[in-house]
């Protein structure tokens, strides 16, 4: 093994279920501060457009951005409103306290580390979160699908992450994620080993039944080094 690549939401960051209309309302309130009814209409339209985009991720693995959500919702792209939106997501961004010690342990073993996330957020938002929590410098490469054409489980997303951590062969990489379809089946399809951390409350409309066996299952990130030890022996 030469690298370990992690999913972000629900894996490096414990999953938090949000009220997406309420979060988009923060965006809409900046656009329509004096018109609560219009702000609510915009918030509902944006949340519905985002939900539809996630359905396209589920069914077609097409990546999308917040700009595309706003265009689909017929709402203008506004920097101040986006900043309000970003702050609305803050409660769902805390990095698992086990992440930093784990990443240091992996790097101490000479392994490369990376992130591959299916996300609409711009890379800068994710990097700000990782920097805030003191882990950004512990990754050799981070790939956010908002910069890609395809999300997980599309092979090209995984291959982009393998390249980002500077490894040639996916078989030299382990992927750690919380979703059997997106993470485990996608990683195994390109020849990576796959470790499942099955503790997320994945939204029903984002689930895909899949018959795939992870190479290991861990209940917390701190269990990963023992799994790697088992493969090395
Ligand atoms: Mg996840």
**Residue 100's domain is classified under what CATH number?**
3.40.50.1000
| CA dihedral sign of residues 206, 211, 213, 218 | positive
pLDDT recorded at residue 166: 98
What is the average pLDDT value for the chain, to the nearest integer? 96
User: What is the 18 CA–ligand 1 centroid distance (Å)?
Assistant: 14
User: What is the 10 CA–ligand 1 centroid distance (Å)?
Assistant: 4
User: What is the 5 CA–ligand 1 centroid distance (Å)?
Assistant: 12
Mean pLDDT calculated for residue range 120-142: 98
Mode of pairing for the β-strands spanning 112-117 and 193-196: unpaired
User: What is the 200 CA–ligand 1 centroid distance (Å)?
Assistant: 7
Question: Does residue 65 carry a pLDDT above 90?
Answer: yes
- Tens of pLDDT, residue by residue over 164-220, are 999 999 999 999 999 999 999 999 999 999 999 997 777 777 788 888 999 999 999
Domain span holding position 134: 3-15+93-232
- Tens of pLDDT, residue by residue over 151-169, are 999 999 999 999 999 999 9
User: What is the 15 CA–ligand 1 centroid distance (Å)?
Assistant: 8
User: What is the 32 CA–ligand 1 centroid distance (Å)?
Assistant: 33
CA distance 94 to 115: 15
CA distance 157 to 129: 21
User: What is the 35 CA–ligand 1 centroid distance (Å)?
Assistant: 36
* Residue 79 burial by Cβ neighbours in a 10 Å radius (0-12, 13-18, 19+): exposed
User: What is the 129 CA–ligand 1 centroid distance (Å)?
Assistant: 16
Last residue of a domain, one of 91, 114, 131: 91
Helical spans, DSSP H, in the chain: 20-31, 36-60, 66-73, 79-89, 99-108, 123-132, 155-164, 186-189, 224-232
102 plus 83 within the same structural domain: no
Neighbouring CB atoms inside 10 A of 98's CB total: 14
pLDDT recorded at residue 203: 79
pLDDT recorded at residue 53: 97
User: What is the 33 CA–ligand 1 centroid distance (Å)?
Assistant: 34
- Tens of pLDDT, residue by residue over 114-128, are 999 999 999 999 999
112 plus 168 within the same structural domain: yes
User: What is the 201 CA–ligand 1 centroid distance (Å)?
Assistant: 10
Mean pLDDT calculated for residue range 40-52: 98
Question: Does residue 150 carry a pLDDT above 80?
Answer: yes
87 plus 139 within the same structural domain: no
User: What is the 9 CA–ligand 1 centroid distance (Å)?
Assistant: 4
- pLDDT category of residue 35 using cuts at 50, 70 and 90: very high
Last residue of a domain, one of 41, 64, 91: 91
Percent of the chain with pLDDT over 70: 100
84 plus 100 within the same structural domain: no
- How many domains, in total, are found in the chain? 2
Last residue of a domain, one of 70, 91, 112: 91
Mean pLDDT calculated for residue range 102-122: 98
99 plus 47 within the same structural domain: no
CA distance 193 to 31: 46
53 plus 147 within the same structural domain: no
CA distance 37 to 198: 40
* Residue 78 burial by Cβ neighbours in a 10 Å radius (0-12, 13-18, 19+): middle
Percent of the chain with pLDDT over 90: 92
User: What is the 38 CA–ligand 1 centroid distance (Å)?
Assistant: 33
Q: Under a CB-based contact definition with an 8 Å cutoff, are residues 175 and 183 in contact?
A: yes
Taking alpha carbons only, the member of 113, 180, 122, 174 closest to residue 153 is 180
């Amino acid at each position: 093994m030469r690298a370990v690549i992690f999913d972000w939401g629900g894996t490096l960051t414990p999953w938090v279920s949000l009220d997406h209309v309420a979060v988009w309302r923060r965006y809409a309130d900046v656009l329509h501060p004096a018109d609560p009814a219009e702000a609510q209409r915009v918030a509902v339209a944006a949340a519905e457009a985002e939900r539809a985009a996630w359905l396209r991720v589920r069914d077609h693995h097409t990546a999308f951005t917040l700009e595309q959500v706003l265009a689909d919702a017929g709402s203008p792209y506004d920097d101040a409103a986006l900043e309000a939106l970003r702050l609305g997501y803050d409660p769902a961004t805390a990095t698992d306290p086990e992440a930093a010690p784990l990443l240091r342990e992996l790097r101490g073993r000479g392994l490369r580390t990376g992130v591959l996330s299916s996300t609409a957020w711009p890379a800068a938002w994710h990097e700000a979160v990782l920097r805030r929590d003191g882990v950004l410098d512990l990754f050799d490469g981070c790939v956010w699908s908002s910069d890609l054409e395809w999300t997980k489980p599309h092979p090209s997303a995984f291959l982009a992450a393998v390249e980002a951590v500077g490894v040639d062969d996916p078989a030299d990489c382990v992927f750690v994620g919380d979703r059997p379809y997106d993470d485990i089946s996608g990683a195994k399809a390109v020849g990576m080993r796959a470790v499942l951390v099955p503790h997320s409350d994945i939204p029903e409309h984002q689930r895909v039944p899949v018959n795939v066996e992870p190479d290991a299952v861990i209940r917390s990130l701190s269990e990963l080094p023992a799994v790697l030890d088992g493969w090395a022996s």
